[in-house]
Amino acid sequence: MRTKPYIGYAALIALLSLLSLQIDTSLSLSEQWQLFTQPESASEFRDVFFMQSQLPRLSITLLVGAMLGLTGSLMQQLTQNNLTSPLTLGTSSGAWLALVIVNIWFVDWVADYSAFAAMAGALVAFGLIISIAGVRNMTGLPLVVSGMVINILLGSIATALIILNAQFAQNIFMWGAGDLSQYSWDWFEWLLPRSTIAIVILIVAPRILTLVKLGQEGAAARGLAVLPAFGALMVMG
């Protein structure tokens, strides 16, 4: 019985995905299916556009959406707060600020180290939040309040840097806006192996999250090292 809602959600996502492929294309459903099953049959521009632009963008969107959903759910269950997200925890602003800094002052690193910079920025932001809220308030409102403060602070710094260095920061506007128009299968292939951390989370997290629901003292009484487990899952998320 519990699987029925998930089947419904999966069907809805599949339907919406199919509908999104009908935007800005003159291909019929049968033609799209033929291209999907026989990519070598693409001969016209509209065929190539469908195969090399629309499909990879849809695939990237679904993959990124799934990862964001998993991360948000993980954070909410760890903190036992439905307001928790990468935005309210300030980690997204930390990643954004790190990318801005790299694009302005470390241009040679952009191609190879942008992902590492974003990860480092998010971790620094999370570290600041922990230092403000305290390790004993990781499941309370102080965590969210601290996260919002850090989010506003780092976001403001990033915006100021962009305004003062607009000529160097123009190429990151698409990243900030979430624009996928320039992405192809190469980016999907780059992203897919980096998303395999989700498998580790799905294997490791359920038992830890079940114990976390008992509270810090209850989880510790049952043998869980609360803070190390909390930190490890947050870093993976």
Tens-digit pLDDT profile for residues 154-187:
989 988 888 888 776 666 665 655 666 677 888 8
Predicted pLDDT at 55: 87
CATH number of the domain located at residue range(s) 73-236 in this protein: 1.10.3470.10
Residue bearing tokens 């969210």: 144
Q: Which residues of the chain have pLDDT under 50?
A: 1
Q: How is the chain split into domains, by residue range?
A: 73-236
Q: What is the pTM of this model?
A: 0.75
* pLDDT recorded at residue 95: 87
Report helix angle 226-236 to 55-79, nearest 10: 160
pLDDT of residue 176: 59
> Nearest-CA neighbor of 102 among 90, 91, 86, 118?
118
Tell me what pLDDT residue 1 has: 47
Query: What's the start-to-end Cα distance of the chain, in Å?
Result: 29
